[in-house]
Amino acid sequence: MKPEGQVRIPSGCAISAMISKNGERMSGEKIIESMKPMHDRSNGLGGGFAAYGIYPEHKDYYALHIFFDSRAARMECETFMNEKLDIAKSERIPTRIIAEITDEPLIWRYFVLPRRFALQNSQLDEREYILRLVMTINTKLDGCFVFSSGKNMGSFKAVGFPEDVGRFYRLEEYEGYCWTAHGRYPTNTPGWWGGAHPFTLLDYSIVHNGEISSYDANRRFIEMFGYKCTLQTDTEVITYIMDYLLRRQGLTLEEAAHVVAAPFWSTISRKDEAAKEQLTYLRTVFPSLLITGPFSIVLGFNGGLMALNDRLKLRSMVVGHKEDLVFIASEEAAIRVMEPDAEDIYAPVGGEPVIVRVKEGAF
Amino acid sequence: MKRINADQVHFRDLNEQLRNSNGEVELRNVCGQRFIAAGFSRRNIDIHGVPGNALGAYLDGATITVHGNAQDAVGDTMNEGEIIVHGNIGDATGYAMRGGKIYVKGNAGYRAGIHMKAYAEKYPVLLIGGRTGSFLGEYQAGGLIIVLGLYEGQEPIVGNFPGTGMHGGKMLIRSTCEDIRFPGQVTAQSATKEDLEQVRAHIERFCELFGYNVEEILDAPFTVVTPDSKNPYKQMYVQN
């Protein structure tokens, strides 16, 4: 069987997210439940969750979640990491044995910081140092795959239906102020644990419903900056684009949204002068990062999330509120499961980001 | 009236229960089940909760009333019957419908009325009380779309690119449409009294369903949108 990366994957999918603007932590139970009415949007070949605020006791450490094919792969990876990182804690990620999830790899997590002298010698900032380390493990070490690498957050994913994946990882035992979820419908792939969503890099995570047609154009551009697209999935490239635009280029979320889902020139021409100038600038400077084809995504990060549809809105996405909670999902039914009395349910306009931030100091 | 509790019931079983009932049926606790009443005739179905995608697909004469919002692709390829939605509705409402009527009290998402078509006595009608997203009536080939924009803060009442690829049928928009840009192959002009008289029955039905006053609704400027030619693609590929 070919691993992912050698197979192209068109996908259908379901997404869901919930966030508390007051930073109040919620168990993973509701987000798991929200995926049930959307069951038929997935086909059991991938499900996953990202959770923010779940590791307060290690919040200053990068939490690396890693799949290993074998004990030998783990030993090799640990030897490599020991040279580069101070490992404060390492443990198996607790799972529950259930019939629906099989063939699991070894699943570990490490709370780490860069070794001081190694970091100094590298002349990189801390986040870039971690990013490069993740890229090295994922491309150079056989049988090892880092699928989560942010602080005080984590991604949990597997081959299976999302509600089963949630139970497998015992997500009801975690508490986070923000959760995102994904159910996958790859139609011609073997389905691999690393290929499930969310895709993450540092604290950025992406869940994605859609099939982007600009993958190769985007990939060629982003690979010039040290990102390695190892999986050939469109979601991976979106994750790297977001890291590039937000962390490296320092764009705001709105600006990044207007790069990847840039309005049509005809739409830009009808804006006021200031908006026209800004949108023209962004389209001109980053033409290769325009993402075309259908997508609805939720980008999670420490302290908030951004939901975005492609500019033609070829995928559904609805938003609802209740007190300080904001809910986002592919279908309203999923929101009703999380909060039956959710208010102001609406579908955002294609290309216009919905940005939710946890209030300062609450995460 | 027969009542069915749809809580945690799979759509296949739900439709099976519907198939085994006649006359008036009420569904409670619906949450995302797809294809409800697909292809059904001869029934009145009342839905409480949120019905899933493709509600009333291929509908063939049944009446469906949703007491709340509906999701995407309602009335996909429907042939006959009536779908009444008391809330908002998702994307691609009335996708390729070729008969029957859809009345929505609230707003519609993107691509409402995409590829509606008509033939002989089949003449589908889609009526939206609020506003619609972009690509209203995309590739419309027949039938009638009416958008009323009845609620506060609804300008413009249709999003970008309405009538893209439209080559048949008619749209009636309750607005002067000054801010709306239509594609080259359609004509948008002020509605005449005759235009409004022709659609009056549909607006009366809307008012009866949702409690509005016909005269108040009609006492506003309307714009009629029609394609320039019955066959705009005539010479696109070959001379014929």
Residue that wins the pLDDT comparison between B186 and A361 = B186
What confidence score (pLDDT) does residue A35 get?
97
Which of B110, B136, B182 to mutate against chain A (most A CBs within 10 Å)?
B110
β-pair partners for B31: B50
Question: Of B49, B44, B39, B48, whose CA–CA distance to B15 is shortest?
Answer: B39
What confidence score (pLDDT) does residue A1 get?
42
B160 chain-A contacts, CB cut-off 8 A: 267
B72 chain-A contacts, CB cut-off 8 A: 316, 331
Residue A231 has pLDDT above 80, yes or no: no
Contact A316 B52 (CB under 8 A): no
Is residue B159 domain-resident? Answer: yes
Residue B131 has pLDDT above 90, yes or no: yes
Question: pLDDT, tens digit, for every residue of A7-58?
Answer: 544 446 899 999 999 999 999 999 999 999 999 999 888 999 999 999 999 9
Inter-chain CB pairs, A–B, below 8 Å: 58
Residue B61 has pLDDT above 50, yes or no: yes
- Mean per-residue pLDDT, A201-221: 93
Question: pLDDT, tens digit, for every residue of A336-354?
Answer: 999 999 999 999 999 999 9
Percent of chain B with pLDDT strictly greater than 70: 95
Helices (H) and strands (E) in chain A, counts: 11, 18
What confidence score (pLDDT) does residue B152 get?
84
What confidence score (pLDDT) does residue A321 get?
97
A13 is catalytic: yes
Residue B238 pLDDT level (bands cut at 50, 70, 90): low
Percent of chain A with pLDDT strictly greater than 70: 95
Question: pLDDT, tens digit, for every residue of B6-20?
Answer: 999 999 999 999 999
How distant is the Cα of A314 from the closest Cα of chain B, in angstroms? Answer: 9
What confidence score (pLDDT) does residue A188 get?
52
Query: β-strands B60-66, B80-85: how paired?
Result: parallel
Is residue B236 domain-resident? Answer: no
A347 chain-B contacts, CB cut-off 8 A: 90-91, 109-110, 133
**What domains appear along chain A, each with residue ranges and CATH number?**
14-252+293-353 (3.60.20.10)
Range of the domain at B72: 2-227
Contact B90 A334 (CB under 8 A): no
Is residue B11 domain-resident? Answer: yes
> What's the CATH number where B129 sits?
2.160.20.60
Is residue B197 domain-resident? Answer: yes
Question: pLDDT, tens digit, for every residue of A99-149?
Answer: 999 999 999 999 999 999 999 999 999 999 999 999 999 999 999 999 999
Residue A4 has pLDDT above 60, yes or no: no
Averaged pLDDT of chain B:
94
Is residue B14 domain-resident? Answer: yes
Is residue B8 domain-resident? Answer: yes
Write down the H helix ranges in B47-86.
none
Judged by a CB distance cut-off of 8 A, whether residue B222 touches chain A is no
Question: pLDDT, tens digit, for every residue of B29-40?
Answer: 999 999 999 999
Tokens (6 digits) for A14? 């379901």
What confidence score (pLDDT) does residue B217 get?
97
Tokens (6 digits) for B17? 């229960």
Regarding an ipTM greater than 0.95, the answer is no
What confidence score (pLDDT) does residue A6 get?
52
If you measure CA to CA, which chain A residue comes closest to B108? A347
- Spell A220-252 as b/e; 16+ CB within 10 A means b: ebbeeeebbbebbbbbbbbbbbbbbbbbeeebe
Residue A233 pLDDT level (bands cut at 50, 70, 90): confident
Question: pLDDT, tens digit, for every residue of B66-87?
Answer: 999 999 999 999 999 999 999 9
Tokens (6 digits) for B117? 């078509």
Question: pLDDT, tens digit, for every residue of A350-360?
Answer: 999 999 999 98
What confidence score (pLDDT) does residue B81 get?
98
Averaged pLDDT of chain A:
93
What confidence score (pLDDT) does residue B154 get?
72
Q: Which of A13, A77, A144, A229 is catalytic?
A: A13
Residue B237 pLDDT level (bands cut at 50, 70, 90): low
Residue A35 DSSP label: T
Is residue B234 domain-resident? Answer: no
- Domain count along chain B: 1
Which among B71, B110, B181 has CB closest to A350? B110
**Rounded distance between C-alpha atoms, residue B80 and residue B60, angstroms:** 5
How distant is the Cα of A333 from the closest Cα of chain B, in angstroms? Answer: 5
Is residue B237 domain-resident? Answer: no
Contact B50 A333 (CB under 8 A): yes
